[in-house]
Amino acid sequence: MFKPITIKDIAQALELSPSTVSRALSDSYEINEETKKRVIEYAEKHNYRRNPMASSLRQGRSYSIGVVVCEVANSFFSQAIDGIESVAYGKGYHVIISQSHDAYEREVVNMQHLANRAVDGLLISMSAETKDFSHIVNLHEQGLPIVFFDRIIDAFETHTVTSNNREGAMKATQSLIDRGFRKIAHLANAPHLSITAERLEGYEDALRQNGLALDESFIRCCHHGGRIQQEVEEAVRYFLSLPERPDAVFVASDRLSMGCLSAYNKLAPKSEHPAVAGFSNSDVLDLLQPNFTCVRQPAFEMGRMAMEMLIQLIESRYPVYDFENVVLQTELMMPHRISG
Binding site for DNA (CB under 7 A): 3-4, 6-8, 15-20, 22-23, 25-26, 29-35, 48-51, 54-55, 57-60
- Dist. CA 340–CA 329, nearest whole Å: 34
Check residue 23 and give left, alpha or beta (phi > 0: left; psi -120 to 50: alpha).
alpha
Closest to its own copies by CB, 31 or 69: 69
Cβ-based nearer residue to its own copies, 3 or 131 = 3
Query: What single-letter DSSP state applies at residue 120?
Result: S
From the list its own copies, DNA, none, pick the one residue 213 interacts with, judged by a Cβ distance below 5 to 8 Å according to partner type: none
d(CA 190, CA 223): 4
The region of 30-38, 44-52, 129-137, 196-204 touching its own copies under the rule CB under 8 A is 44-52
CB 224 within 8 A of CB 231: yes
Indicate which of DNA, its own copies, none lies near residue 8 (CB less than 5 to 8 Å, by partner kind).
Answer: DNA
Q: How far is CA 326 from the centre of its chain?
A: 15
Per-residue contact string for residues 177-196; x = within reach of its own copies by CB under 8 A: --------------------
Site for its own copies in 321-340 (CB under 8 A): 336, 338-340
Q: What is the DSSP track for 49-94?
A: ---HHHHHHHHT--SEEEEEES-SSSHHHHHHHHHHHHHHHHTT-E
Nearer to its own copies, 197 or 267 (CB): 267
Shortest distance (Å) from residue 112 CB to DNA:
14
Q: List 66's β-bridge partners, or say none.
A: 96, 122
Please give the Cα distance from 185 to 215 (Å, whole number): 8
Indicate whether 73 belongs to the interface with its own copies (CB under 8 A): yes
In the list 116, 209, 210, 329, the residue contacting its own copies (rule: CB under 8 A) is 116
Strands 331-333 and 292-296: antiparallel
Positions 76 through 115 that interact with its own copies (CB under 8 A): 77-79, 81, 85, 89, 94-99, 109, 112-113, 115
Smallest separation (angstroms) from DNA to the CB of 134? 21
Q: Answer with the entry of DNA, its own copies, none that 115 interacts with (C-beta below 5 to 8 A by kind).
A: its own copies
Q: Which residues pair with 249 in a beta bridge?
A: 185, 276
- Angle between helical axes of 7-14 and 33-45 (0-180°, round to 10): 120
CA distances from 188 to 49, 103, 166, 175, 329 (A): 50, 18, 13, 18, 20
Nearer to DNA, 35 or 98 (CB): 35
Instruction: Compute the distance between CA of residue 226 and CA of residue 52 in angstroms, rounded to an integer.
Output: 39
> Does the footprint of its own copies cover residue 72 (CB under 8 A)?
yes
Q: Which of 261, 276, 302, 310: binder of its own copies (CB under 8 A)? A: 261
Q: Which of 75, 100, 253, 297 binds its own copies (CB under 8 A)?
A: 75
Nearer to DNA, 145 or 278 (CB): 145
- 123 touches 135 (CB < 8 A): no
Would you say 17 or 210 has its CB closer to DNA?
Answer: 17
- Name the residue nearer to DNA (CB basis): 15 or 322: 15
Residue-wise DSSP of 162-211: EE-HHHHHHHHHHHHHHTT---EEEEE--TTSHHHHHHHHHHHHHHHHTT
Which chain residues interact with its own copies by CB under 8 A? 1-2, 4, 47, 49-54, 56-57, 62, 71-75, 77-79, 81, 85, 89, 94-99, 109, 112-113, 115-118, 138, 141-143, 229, 258-259, 261-262, 265-266, 268-272, 283-285, 287-290, 319, 336, 338-340
